[in-house]
Amino acid sequence: MSTTAVLPDSKKHYEILDGLRGVASVLVIAFHVMETFTGGNRFIQVINHGYLAVDFFFLLSGFVVAYAYDDRWGKMGQWDFYKRRLIRLQPMVVMGSLIGAALFYFGISPVFPNIAGTPVWEMLLVMLVGCTLIPLPVSMDIRGWTEMHPLNGPAWSLFFEYIANILYALFIRKFSKTLLTIFVILCAIFLVQYLIMGPQGDVIGGWSIDKTQLHVGFARLLYPFFAGVLLCRAGKLIHIKGAFTVCSLMIVAVLAIPRIGGTDHLWMNGIYESVVIILIFPLIVSIGAGGKIIGARAAKTCKFLGDISYPLYITHYPLIYLYTAWVVNNKIQLGAYGLLVGFLLMICSITLAWACLKFYDVPVRNWLAKRYLVKKEAV
């Protein structure tokens, strides 16, 4: 008997896009660290628009999925596609839920009112459901933040990522470029309507199973993901020198800019976020995909950032829960001491992500790929 891989990953990676995903992931941690000191006031948040990294991730995912699979459907069925996406994403979903469960009771604090009264059996049940990525209703919230995944909040975006992948496999992959363009324009209108006419002037939300939060989640998902697909199919890449540096600075700038318009003019911030998601993020991806890495050090940097980006994003938040509880319980103010601990948390998060990648994610994915993506053939 011999074995042959089903649809081997022979295409080159866009190294700069990998690196940019890592840059955005690090900024997400910094955003969450600083968010701890705001008391829930989004208007005074440092790195104010850090949450837009999720929308950037959706755009990147759409671009990468289209690049990897658009030309493979003649050789690949839907189940083959789903298996590949599950193998790529699900192992770290499980790890994120396990880490969240292990640290859950260390986060007892007034800011998490449901932890102290949650029995172990219920926490373990939530952990098991979290491993499947099935969203939990608000009635099963064991933390007090109404999250669909209360052990690992950011898993909500993976829930929507899976929805996007299913929509792509069922319908969108069959769209002509014209039909896809029309669909993306309609999704952009849906997003802009919510941002400018909605109650918040931003896209913060999407992590609860209720009408309002699902509205936010789909508004955030549909345009960027399928704009990424369209961007890949259009093939309009921008070639400039120093693309990684330029794109990294652009990401930092758009995520760090202070809130625009204040409480009296929510629509102004809505316009800003509309421009960022609809125009600037596709521009960044076009530049990143069209750029080249020069030098071994730059290549290693992008590879490292790309490798840890997903493990970092999906495992850091249980540590943020602990940090938040520590800040609230000890009345820590925004200053050198709190920032030092926050910086150490970032280092710990990166170390944890690297360890999960090397000792768990890569070995598990390799085993699953050999088990489910390789066909045995008679010699």
Task: Please check the confidence at residue 1 and state whether its pLDDT lies above 90.
Answer: no
Average pLDDT over residues 146-166: 98
Confidence at residue 378, expressed as pLDDT on a 0 to 100 scale: 46
Please state, in angstroms and as integers, the Cα–Cα distance from residue 367 to each residue in 56, 132, 217, 311, following that order: 30, 19, 33, 18
Domain count, the chain: 1
Average pLDDT over residues 205-220: 97
pLDDT in tens, 37-67: 998 899 999 999 999 999 999 999 999 999 9
Task: Please check the confidence at residue 4 and state whether its pLDDT lies above 50.
Answer: no
Domain that holds residue 7: 2-377
- Is this structure's pTM higher than 0.75? yes
pLDDT in tens, 333-349: 999 999 999 999 999 99
Helix 317-329 × helix 296-315 angle, to 10°: 60
2 pLDDT tier (thresholds 50, 70, 90): very low
319, 38, 51, 323 alpha-carbon torsion, rounded to 10°? 0
Task: Please check the confidence at residue 12 and state whether its pLDDT lies above 90.
Answer: no
Q: Rounded to 5 degrees, what angle do the CA atoms 278, 32, 201 make?
A: 40
Confidence at residue 318, expressed as pLDDT on a 0 to 100 scale: 98
pLDDT in tens, 70-98: 999 989 999 999 999 999 999 999 999 99
Confidence at residue 295, expressed as pLDDT on a 0 to 100 scale: 87
Confidence at residue 238, expressed as pLDDT on a 0 to 100 scale: 96
